[in-house]
């Protein structure tokens, strides 16, 4: 019998079909012989497969989504901001006194490509190594001026809207009776070839909420200020020291860490400020006269054991649904301030509370009228009626109407007022000593009436108990 490997078909001999060896039968690998009917294709070595192209498209989409996420996070929670001070560097002078008692004045700008000013050498000589952690780790590469030695910079950041920018950037929801102050912290210097290690938040335990760093006009290269947020985001600020009209300031939250990269030329000099939140003291610059106090005295003598209420006469433009009545204390003006602080002089404890329609809200409650109420009807003023500000019409002034105490809308509104925690003045045992119309100040609370927006007129009372 002739071996299979020896048999050659006519097609094989003609070269029309590929030839295989018997050793490859049943194997996944066949040695194919080129045929004249085959296409010959030259392919690039870098050609990507269809699957790899699909993966690349997927990677682009993932990168796009990740970029959007990072942008929205940065927009929602900024942790550092920066700006420029519109002053000429030659207007700045740094005054300091060394341990020897000699006072020096360093004029700006400083360019170390020329000879270093003697005052700068004295300043660097008086500095101490910088602490870079809370583990007593010190470095000679960065320095700070001792806080026990006198130092003054002819730069008052209160004359520039830096604190306004910090408030808008970080503390936009700060209460109206709170404000920001900046206290000079320290002068820091990073010399040529040096860098400042990571400054952790534990090194800033003076109660500050943010830090402002102003780069003084000394020419340098490198030395970028690196700020890292609590969640790991990083920003770099290069300072651009020494350029006319280009003095950079950077502010960052106290939760951040910061460091200064290596300075490759010159030296980087910064002065930092701690930002603190303060509250306005409830005090008035006006002092009541003796005659004004004499007017109050007989009323208090005849009102022992009673709770008195006085309407505020001025409008203060607050939204009672967002702010407590007590938040108006720092804003009191005219006779409202005189009366409030006169009662304080009698060692009484006056409080501000909202009132409307014969109801009074607790001192710790805002006014929230949720839901919808029926449409209201304009009628003449009545005792204990809810006063509503009517909707403005084209080319007309806004008027006021009083809700009918017997209609369905008023009953619904009264129920919502009670659900909000307000109680009748009679139950609160408050005796009002003034008329709400027309001399009382008015604030407005929005609520929905039959699908349309209305405003409930609210008054503010000075409530005081006379023991």
Whether residue 253 sits in one domain with residue 206: yes
Higher-pLDDT residue of 91 and 448 is 91
Q: What is the DSSP letter of 87?
A: S
Which residues touch 338 (CB under 8 Å, ≥6 apart)? 284, 286, 288, 292
What's the pTM value of the predicted model, to 2 decimals? 0.57
pLDDT for 360 beyond 90? yes
- Indicate if 225 and 325 belong to the same structural domain: no
**What CATH number has the domain bearing residue 235?**
2.60.120
Q: Does residue 352 lie within any of the structural domains? A: yes
Statement to judge: residues 275 and 307 lie in one domain: no
Indicate the range of 168-182, 216-230, 342-356 predicted with least confidence. 168-182
The domain tally of the chain equals 2
Domain membership of residue 313 (yes or no) is yes
- With beta carbons less than 8 A apart as the criterion, state whether 82 and 237 touch: yes
For residues 196 and 255, membership in a common domain is answered with yes
Q: Is residue 358 part of a domain?
A: yes
Structural contact between residues 171 and 277, judged by C-beta atoms closer than 8 angstroms: yes
Question: Which of 230, 257, 279 corresponds to the end of one domain?
Answer: 279
The rounded distance, in Å, linking the Cα atoms of 74 and 71 is 5
Q: Is residue 185 part of a domain?
A: yes
Residue 158 maps to a domain: yes
Q: pLDDT tens-digit profile of 11-26?
A: 444 444 444 444 444 4
Q: Give the per-residue pLDDT at 418.
A: 86
The residue out of 224, 252, 279 marking a domain boundary is 279
Residues 304 and 330 in one domain: yes
Q: Would you state the structure tokens that stand for residue 440, as one six-digit string?
A: 């009382």
295 and 267, same domain (yes or no): no
21 inside domain: no
Helix, strand, coil % in the chain, rounded to nearest 5? 25, 30, 45
Is residue 380 in some structural domain?
Answer: no
| 234 shares its domain with 296 | no
At 456 the pLDDT is 85
Question: Half-sphere exposure (CA, 13 Å, Cβ side) for 37?
Answer: 5
- Residue 174: pLDDT over 80: yes
Residue 273 scores a pLDDT above 50: yes
**How many CB atoms sit inside 10 A of residue 230's CB?**
13
pLDDT band, very low/low/confident/very high, at 404 (cuts 50, 70, 90): low
> Confidence class of residue 90 from pLDDT cuts 50, 70 and 90?
confident
Q: 265 and 325 in one domain?
A: no
pLDDT tier at 214 (50, 70, 90 boundaries)?
very high
Q: In this structure, is residue 439 part of a structural domain?
A: yes
The pair of three-digit structure tokens given for residue 416, joined into one six-digit string: 């919502």
Name the token pair of 268: 């980087």
Residue 4: Cβ within 10 Å count = 8
Residues 350, 215, single domain; the answer is no
Residue found by looking up tokens 């079909």 in the block: 17
pLDDT over 90 (residue 414): no
> Containing domain of residue 328, as a range?
290-370+411-466
| Residues 231 and 90 grouped into a single domain | yes
Residues 323-356: tens digit of each pLDDT = 899 988 888 888 899 999 999 999 999 999 999 8
Buried-exposed string 123-161: b where 16+ CB fall within 10 A, e elsewhere: beebbeebbbeeeeeeeebbbbbeeeeebebebebeebe
Same domain for 275 and 128: yes
Read off the DSSP letter of residue 341: H
Q: Where are the alpha helices (DSSP H) in 15-82?
A: 50-76
Distance CA 367, CA 321 (A): 5
Question: CA-CA distance, 363 to 321, in Å (whole number)?
Answer: 13
Per-residue pLDDT band at 245 (split at 50, 70, 90): low
Q: Which of 244, 279, 314 is the last residue of a domain?
A: 279
170 and 231, same domain (yes or no): yes
């Amino acid at each position: 019998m002739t071996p299979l490997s020896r048999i050659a078909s006519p097609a094989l001999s003609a070269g029309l079909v590929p030839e295989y060896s018997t050793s490859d039968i049943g194997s996944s690998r066949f040695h194919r012989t080129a045929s004249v009917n085959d296409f010959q294709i030259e392919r690039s070595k870098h050609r990507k497969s269809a699957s790899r192209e699909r993966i690349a498209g997927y990677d682009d989409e993932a990168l796009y989504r990740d970029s959007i996420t990072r942008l929205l996070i940065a927009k929602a929670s900024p942790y550092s901001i920066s700006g420029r001070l519109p002053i000429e560097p030659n207007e700045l002078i740094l005054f300091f006194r060394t341990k020897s008692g000699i006072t020096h004045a360093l004029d700006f700008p400083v360019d170390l490509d020329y000879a270093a000013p003697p005052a700068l050498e004295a300043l660097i000589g008086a500095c101490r190594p910088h602490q870079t952690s809370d583990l007593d780790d010190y470095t000679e590469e960065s320095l700070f001026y001792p806080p026990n030695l006198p130092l003054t910079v002819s730069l008052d950041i209160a004359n520039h809207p830096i604190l306004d920018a910090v408030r808008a950037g970080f503390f936009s929801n700060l209460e109206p009776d709170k404000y920001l102050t900046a206290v000079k912290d320290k002068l820091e210097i990073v010399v040529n070839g040096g860098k400042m290690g990571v400054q952790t938040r534990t090194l800033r335990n003076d109660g500050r909420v943010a830090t402002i760093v102003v780069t003084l006009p000394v020419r340098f290269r490198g030395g970028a200020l690196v700020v890292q947020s609590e969640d790991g985001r990083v920003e770099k600020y290069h300072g651009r020291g020494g350029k006319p009209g280009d003095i950079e300031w950077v502010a960052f939250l106290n939760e951040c860490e910061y460091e200064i990269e290596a300075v490759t030329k010159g030296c980087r000099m910064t002065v930092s400020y701690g930002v603190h939140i303060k509250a306005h003291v409830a005090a008035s610059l006006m002092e009541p006269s003796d005659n004004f106090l004499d007017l109050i005295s007989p009323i208090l003598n005849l009102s022992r054991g009673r709770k008195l209420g006085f309407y505020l006469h001025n409008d203060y433009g607050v939204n009672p649904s967002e702010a407590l009545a007590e938040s108006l204390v720092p804003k009191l003006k005219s006779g409202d301030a005189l009366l409030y602080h006169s009662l304080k002089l009698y060692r009484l404890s006056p409080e501000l509370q909202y009132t409307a329609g014969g109801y009074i809200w607790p001192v710790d409650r805002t006014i929230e009228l949720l839901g919808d109420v029926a449409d209201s009807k304009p009628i003449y003023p009545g005792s204990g009626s809810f006063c509503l500000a009517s909707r403005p019409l084209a080319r007309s002034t806004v008027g006021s109407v009083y809700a009918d105490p017997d209609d369905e809308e008023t009953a619904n509104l009264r129920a919502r007022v009670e659900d909000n925690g307000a109680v009748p003045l009679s139950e609160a045992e408050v005796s009002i000593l003034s008329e709400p119309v027309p001399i009382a100040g008015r604030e407005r609370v929005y609520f929905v009436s039959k699908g349309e927006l209305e405003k409930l007129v609210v008054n503010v009372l000075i409530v005081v108990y006379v023991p």
